[in-house]
C-alpha cells in the first residue's frame, strides 16, 4: 500500500527533527561524562567514595518533580540510572556480587539498581555475597530479604548477626514466574525444579495443573532453567529472562498464585550513605527477658514519632528459646528523633545493632 505523499513529507520532517535532537542529547551526554570524569578525579584526590546513592536518589526525585511531560515521570529513574551507571564507570567501575547465576531475579535486581555498566559478579550463596563485600572482592552486594508471598528470607537475616557490612540500599522487583522446558510441551515434564522460595509462590497452580509431577528445589531459579536446558524431561519455574538465556519455551506463563508478587532485595556495602530526601533504617536487637519487654521495645519509637515499616523475629542462634528482632523504620540514623529512639531502645535491650540507613526503594507500580 503506497503512503500518502503529504504524510510521507510530514514524517520525513519530524524524523529530521528527532535526529537533530538525538545528536544534541548525545553531545550533552558526552559533556556530562566529561564532568563525571572530573568528579571522579576530585573524589580520588580527596579520598571520597565514588558511589553516592543518596545523591543519585535526590537527583532523580528532583527531576521527577520538575518534569512537565509528556515524557513519563516513571521512565526518568531507569533512564537516568543508566546515564549515571555509565558515568560512574568512567570514574571507577563498580563490582557488585549477587546471588547467581546469571539471569536470576537477584541479577535482575542488581541491574535495576546499578545499571548495565556495573560489573556484576555471580556467586553461589548468600554467604558468599557477604564474604565478597567484607573481603573487598566486591564493592557492593545484592541479596533477597523478603517476598510478599513467602515472607522473610531466613538465610539473609541470619547473616546479619555477625556481618560487618551495612545495608546501603533496597530494590523492589515484581516477580513473574513461568513454567518452561525445552519443548514447550507439558507432556514432556517428569520433574519440576525451582528455588525453595519460588515453588511455594505458585503452589496452587502446580497442585491444580501438575499434581503428579514432583517439584524439587534448585539453588536458584536460573540454575533450574540451566538444568531444564540440559535435560528434556525437566522443567523450570523461573523468570522470562532465565528462559531466554537458556533457550527454553514457556509451557505456561505467569503461574504465580499472587498477582502482587514482589521481592525486596537489599544492597550491602561498607559505609552508611549520607541522608537523602527519603530514608529508611534497619536495626537488629534482642530484648531483655522481663515483663512488658515488647512494650518497652516499641515505646521509644512512639515517643519520638518514628514510624515503623517492618518488624520480624528470629530465634537467637546462641541461646535456645530466645529471639532477636529485625526492625525497619523511616528516617536516617543521623536524624535527632531516630537517634533518641535508638538510645531509648538500648536501655531496654541486651544489644542493638544498626544494620544500615539508606535511600527508600521505589515501589513498583
Q: CA–CA separation, 201 vs 186, rounded Å?
A: 20
Tell me the pLDDT tens digit for each residue of 87-124: 877 877 789 999 888 898 999 999 999 988 899 999 98
Sign of the Cα torsion 14, 16, 19, 24 reads: negative
Please tell me if the domain spanning 15-90 has the same topology as the one spanning 275-359. Answer: no
Active site residue 265: yes
CATH 1.20.59.10 is the classification of domain 15-90: yes
Active site residue 161: no
CATH 1.20.1250.20 is the classification of domain 275-359: no
Tell me the pLDDT tens digit for each residue of 9-25: 888 899 999 999 999 99
178-252 has which CATH code?
3.40.190.10
> 359 and 167 in contact (C-beta within 8 Å)?
no
In three-state secondary structure terms, 29 is helix
Tell me the pLDDT tens digit for each residue of 153-190: 888 888 998 899 999 999 999 999 999 999 999 999 99
93-175+262-267 has which CATH code?
3.40.190.10
Domain boundaries, the chain: 15-90, 93-175+262-267, 178-252, 275-359
Q: Let me know how many helices (H) and strands (E) the chain has, helices first.
A: 11, 15
Task: Please pick, among 140, 263, 281, 285, the residue that the annotation labels catalytic.
Answer: 263
Task: Please pick, among 265, 285, 301, 326, the residue that the annotation labels catalytic.
Answer: 265
Amino acid at each position: 500500500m503506497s503512503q500518502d505523499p503529504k504524510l510521507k513529507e510530514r514524517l520525513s520532517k519530524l524524523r529530521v527533527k528527532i535526529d537533530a535532537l538525538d545528536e544534541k542529547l548525545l553531545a550533552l551526554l558526552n559533556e556530562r561524562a566529561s564532568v563525571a570524569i572530573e568528579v571522579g578525579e576530585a573524589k580520588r584526590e580527596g579520598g571520597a567514595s565514588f558511589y553516592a546513592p543518596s545523591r543519585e536518589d535526590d537527583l532523580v526525585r528532583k527531576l521527577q518533580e520538575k518534569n512537565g511531560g509528556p515524557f513519563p515521570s516513571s521512565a526518568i529513574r531507569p533512564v537516568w540510572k543508566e546515564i549515571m551507571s555509565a558515568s560512574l564507570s568512567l570514574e571507577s567501575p563498580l563490582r557488585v556480587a549477587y546471588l547467581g547465576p546469571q539471569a536470576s531475579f537477584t541479577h535482575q535486581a542488581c541491574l535495576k539498581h546499578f545499571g548495565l555498566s556495573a560489573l556484576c559478579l555471580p556467586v553461589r550463596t548468600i554467604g558468599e555475597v557477604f564474604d565478597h563485600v567484607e573481603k573487598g572482592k566486591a564493592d557492593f552486594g545484592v541479596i533477597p530479604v523478603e517476598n510478599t508471598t513467602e515472607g522473610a528470607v531466613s538465610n539473609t537475616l541470619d547473616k546479619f548477626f555477625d556481618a560487618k557490612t551495612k545495608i546501603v540500599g533496597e530494590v523492589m522487583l515484581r516477580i513473574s514466574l513461568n513454567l518452561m522446558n525445552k519443548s514447550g510441551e507439558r507432556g514432556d515434564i517428569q520433574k519440576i525444579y525451582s528455588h525453595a522460595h519460588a515453588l511455594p509462590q505458585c503452589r496452587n497452580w502446580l497442585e491444580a495443573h501438575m499434581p503428579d509431577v514432583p517439584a524439587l528445589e534448585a539453588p536458584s531459579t536460573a540454575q533450574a532453567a540451566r538444568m531444564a536446558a540440559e535435560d528434556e524431561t525437566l522443567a523450570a519455574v523461573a523468570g522470562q529472562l532465565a528462559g531466554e538465556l537458556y533457550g527454553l519455551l514457556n509451557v505456561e506463563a505467569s503461574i504465580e498464585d499472587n498477582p502482587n508478587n514482589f521481592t525486596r532485595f537489599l544492597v550491602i556495602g561498607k559505609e552508611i550513605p549520607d541522608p537523602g530526601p527519603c530514608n529508611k533504617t534497619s536495626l537488629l536487637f534482642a530484648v531483655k527477658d522481663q515483663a512488658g519487654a515488647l512494650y518497652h521495645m516499641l515505646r521509644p519509637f512512639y515517643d519520638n514519632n518514628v514510624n515503623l515499616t517492618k518488624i520480624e523475629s528470629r530465634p537467637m542462634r546462641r541461646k535456645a528459646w530466645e529471639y532477636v528482632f529485625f526492625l525497619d523504620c523511616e528516617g536516617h540514623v543521623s536524624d535527632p528523633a531516630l537517634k533518641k529512639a535508638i538510645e531509648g531502645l538500648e536501655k531496654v535491650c541486651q544489644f542493638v545493632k544498626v544494620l544500615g540507613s539508606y535511600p527508600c526503594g521505589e515501589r513498583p507500580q
